[in-house]
Structure 1
């Protein structure tokens, strides 16, 4: 099974994919950007995709919600993984020899307090954590280090200079499992939908009331502006329920007060 991830081998996305599929054999399809990941699944280059959607420190990656919808992908599962950020350098390097540290901006943000004790270290943003680790390994400089996963550090022959340097130990990322088509599921208790409400003042209040009426829990909501339509929004909702019939009835009830309504996927909550 081919699984598209954002980043190269050793990225946290690969860790999430292997966590999801356990001992099942998978082939990782590396994609430099999230857009490439979505396209890989949509075009059949990969069978499935694993895409980060939110982090407990950095928040929601809102553009990824748009990518999933635009590529007409279906959410068929989720993976919640604790993120442990490690500092990797070439053999022979040390915290005292490091002058530049490279990583994705989210990883840097999660680790900035660690470097307060090292004011001479420059933090430099890059496109991907695992790519940063690879670049440090190829450069071979004792003045360079990268922040990434233990998997990436080991794969590229670096040594760990700092283990678990993230500021918060409650650092979790939620990843979505993506498919081209809806997957048949024995059971599900969670769904993600997108909707644009009718342009009437009471529409949002009515929508929230319908959730309560159908005994569905709203576990997350995001609003994104619609280009070319000032003060109009597309909402993305994560819903929890006990029976699929509740979801079906809710979607029917929402239809009259929405301009567009899409079920992006139903799945089992992690």
Structure 2
């Protein structure tokens, strides 16, 4: 069954996901040797050396994602989905894919596992099941995904349980429920608050800079080329990039 990412601790708004400082020097796959290695920007999610993204330096990892999710869940009613990191001074990590373990011998060896015995099934399970997204039939001998927020009259093929906004699979079945549809965390947050085009984080302050459909924290409304503050100054936005006139002219030449 899918998990609902709701009722999370208030510290989420203040939690900094930060840059991966330990990844300094990792080569860029896009620059192919011209980048001297990953150099984290103080607040942008890019490399200071080549301006390419973290993903272009292969910095994304399941372990880092599990730590972030663990921080989100640790003080919520879903804390049983996390495990304490040995020697981590109270840090908890998300137990990735633990919910699919069914072998009682395997689960018994790890005290961080919670085992559940299901003694009840939703009414109508003998009826023909139809996927909520593709409307295709779900064979009785195949797994389906139920969402307790949607009700047991709706189900999805595992591959069809995707974000209504980006159509990407909902990793580990973690979802947010809004407008009668499942959302990934990123787009659910964007439906509630604007996202800063500079640091790529959600803006919680009521005081921020907006230009057309783009938004920035006030302190992040700076030129992507020379980093000068552009509040009250001339600026040019090209393909989503915020530039001062000088840097814009330099890039066109």
- The TM-score with structure 2 as length reference comes to 0.26
* Higher normalized helix content (fraction of residues): 1
* Structure label with greater radius of gyration: 2
